[in-house]
Amino acid sequence: MSDTLPDVPATHDTIDGIPAPSANPALFGHPSVRSFLAQAYQSGHMHHALLLEGPQGVGKTTLAFHLAGHMLKHPVQRDAPLELSVPDFSVAPYRQIATGTHLAVLHISRPLDAKTGKFKTGITVDEIRRVTHFLNRTAHDGAWRIVIVDPADDMNRNAANALLKTLEEPPQRTLFILISHSSGRLLPTIRSRCQSIRFEGLERGDLLSALATIGLGADQVPDTEALVTHADGSVRKAALLVAFGGLEISQTIDAILTKPVFDVPKAQALGTALSGRDSEIQFDLFLEDIFSRIATKAREAAEKGAVAEANHWSTLWQDMQGEAREADAFNLDRKQSVLIFLDRMHRALRAS
């Protein structure tokens, strides 16, 4: 599959073997969202700012680029089809979108730190200023201009405020597409100026089809069912689980959290395994797993009307998110973080 795609610049969430969203012709699931956006564009009722929110790795950014290509392929809205066009990377516009060289599409994401070789932890105001330059430079010809902020959650406050000014008075024929994995981190004023479109994790069949296209089908993965269970409908998460031992991490977490008594030796062993110099991705997978479990508990409690329980899990999620960010900012001992998070989660489960 990769042999047919153009080379694309690396981004902070690029995974070997998986095309970047801008260069991915395959989009699985979300049929109602795709139809809704195609029809909104054709009818001339497209909102000027879309907020695509939901779990990471379910196709939000890929769909954003598909929509951008569709709009540029069909600039006369009333003549556009009622289904999104499939990208064709044999033609110049789609190749330009894929490689980030199309003059009508601006993709904003975390910038690369030239000194460290790593991507910065957030989207800065300097990145958002590129939006103003982009729109000022290109607005004169009356063509569509599309800005994709990916993810908008990564904007710091100055960047968010700078974007807000543009959202309040958008130029004609401009579409903003904000990608959000955790929309609670967005300014309420930004949310209020966007049309929110919710994405859920891929259904089992769509997830299996997506995994097959990237070489993670039943004949390549020994335990496909375990992978589907732990992937939470996310192709990205499934790929990381396979590539970096995430299934084993999840299974170890299961073993620790299901025991009536906290298994300190097993937790210490996991902490040691995740604290190595080359274990950053494995540690991130551990955090994702823990936060996903807490979020699920909060959602389940809310759905059954247990407000106090839902608030408890929500507060725990916020507290542990803050602790994780602090541990990363101050380069604190990962092993200790693993032990603390597992112990807090274990105690919370016993108390619920």
- pLDDT confidence tier of residue 313, bands split at 50, 70 and 90: very high
pLDDT digits (tens, 9 = 90+) for 282-292: 999 999 899 98
Locus of tokens 């389940």: 300
pLDDT at 338 over 70: yes
Q: How many residues does the chain have?
A: 352
- pLDDT confidence tier of residue 14, bands split at 50, 70 and 90: low
**Mean pLDDT calculated for residue range 196-201:** 95
Query: Could you tell me which of 57, 79, 59, 66 has the C-alpha nearest to residue 37?
Result: 66
Between CA 106 and CA 195 the distance in angstroms is 20
The contacts of residue 24 (CB under 8 Å, 6+ apart) are 5, 18, 62, 65, 87
Higher-confidence residue of 269 and 15: namely 269
What pLDDT is attached to residue 4? 40
Contact between residue 193 and residue 51 where contact means Cβ atoms under 8 Å apart: no
Between CA 87 and CA 69 the distance in angstroms is 7
**Mean pLDDT calculated for residue range 218-239:** 88
Contact between residue 231 and residue 238 where contact means Cβ atoms under 8 Å apart: yes
- pLDDT confidence tier of residue 139, bands split at 50, 70 and 90: low
What pLDDT is attached to residue 120? 78
Locus of tokens 């693993």: 338
pLDDT digits (tens, 9 = 90+) for 206-215: 999 999 998 8
What pLDDT is attached to residue 47? 96
Between CA 341 and CA 145 the distance in angstroms is 44
Percentage of residues in the chain having pLDDT higher than 70: 95
- pLDDT confidence tier of residue 145, bands split at 50, 70 and 90: very high
Contact between residue 85 and residue 56 where contact means Cβ atoms under 8 Å apart: no
Query: What CATH class is the domain 2-198?
Result: alpha beta
Higher-confidence residue of 121 and 34: namely 34
Higher-confidence residue of 65 and 281: namely 65
pLDDT at 3 over 60: no
pLDDT at 10 over 50: no
Q: Rounded to an integer, what is the distance from CA 331 to the centroid of its chain?
A: 24
Average pLDDT, the chain: 90
DSSP 173-240: TEEEEEEES-GGGS-HHHHHTSEEEE--PPPHHHHHHHHHHTT-STTT-TTHHHHHHHHTT-HHHHHH
What pLDDT is attached to residue 118? 73
Locus of tokens 């059954």: 304
Between CA 39 and CA 45 the distance in angstroms is 8
What pLDDT is attached to residue 1? 34
For residue 215, what are its two tokens? 């070489």
Between CA 231 and CA 223 the distance in angstroms is 12
Full-model pTM = 0.84
52 beta partners: 179, 197
